[in-house]
Structure 1
Amino acid sequence: MMSAPPPQMPLRARCRRRLRSLAALSKTRYWLLTRAIWLALAFFLIFAIDAVLIGWSTAYEVMIGIKSPAEVSAPVVSWAVSLIGWLMIPAFVGGTAGYLVTRQIDARRTQSEADVAQALRRRAQPPSSRRGGKR
């Protein structure tokens, strides 16, 4: 005789379990799934509002700087899209790339920072003090 399958967890419990399991991810993946997604959604929402007001191709042209936000029918939202396109997107991409490169460098580092600092201090001393005090 077959036993019945265990009861399925309620949706709320499954969602809570899924959110708590995010902490097991690497720092980069955790940040992308918990923080960066909100930035991307906020940008997309502002872009979509502007696109509905002035058209998708015009909103794209405003975002990349082909067209001035002052020349369109909804300049307030277009100024926000223009600023996001010229300031926030490059800063976001540059910051993310810098963080990822730094993590890769740290993963391959063979000497600690203290050892490197000590070697630099030793090299910065005059030659006479390095050899035992002969003047």
Structure 2
Amino acid sequence: MPEPAMVPPKVTWLEQARDLRRSLARLNRPHYWLVTRAPAWLVGFGLLYVLGGVTLGWRTAYEVLVGLAAPGDTPVPAYAYVLGLLGWFLVPAIIGGVAGYLVTHQIERRRTVDAEELLARMRREAGFSADSQGSE
């Protein structure tokens, strides 16, 4: 009598989610950060801004966040100082990070010579060799 064929068990949604999470490691660092960490930061930033809009008023929360209004002149100065610090630290960091990533990406796209090849060519032209370094 022939043995029954073994059918692999069905993949569960939990295993699929695990495999998807593990496959993110193949992304480069900025993409990995944008997919895994940035959503939590954006949700936190959004919640703080919405809470500021509810407690301080939407216009006042925006003005404190971008530095147009003093936090001490608001109805809830303690929270306004938190929102003001968030505007001072987080917003320029996000803008600077995005700008730096875009500039680096454009430079890498236009690079025609590999960095290792360029370094080797510069060493040859300078008369530097690995064995001459050891003899000194």
TM-score normalised by L of structure 1: 0.68
User: What CA distance in whole angstroms lies between the structure 2 residues aligned with 1:120 and 1:84?
Assistant: 50
Which residue of 99, 102, 123 maps to 2:101? 99
Q: Distance in 2 between matches of 1:93 and 1:63?
A: 14
Matches of 1:58 and 1:35, distance apart in 2 = 29
**Equivalent position of 1:126 in the other structure:** none
Contact 1:50 1:81 in 2 (8 A): yes
Spell out the pairing of 1:20-39 with structure 2 (5 A cutoff): 20-39=22-41
Q: Distance in 1 between matches of 2:77 and 2:121?
A: 53
Aligned length: 117
Check the 8 A contact 1:53/1:74 in 2, yes or no: yes
**Please, which runs of 5 or more residues in structure 1 have no aligned partner?**
1-5, 123-135
Q: Percent identity?
A: 38
Query: For 2:81 and 2:121, how far apart are their aligned partners in 1?
Result: 48
Q: In 2 relative to 1, CA 33–120 (structure 1 residues): closer, same or farther, beyond 3 Å?
A: farther
RMSD in angstroms over aligned alpha carbons?
A: 2.8
Give 2:119's match in structure 1, choosing from 107, 114, 123: 114
Q: Which runs of 5+ in 2 are unaligned?
A: 1-7, 128-136
Distance 1:70 1:28 in 2: 37
Find the aligned partners of 2:121 and 2:30 in 1 and give their Cα distance. 27
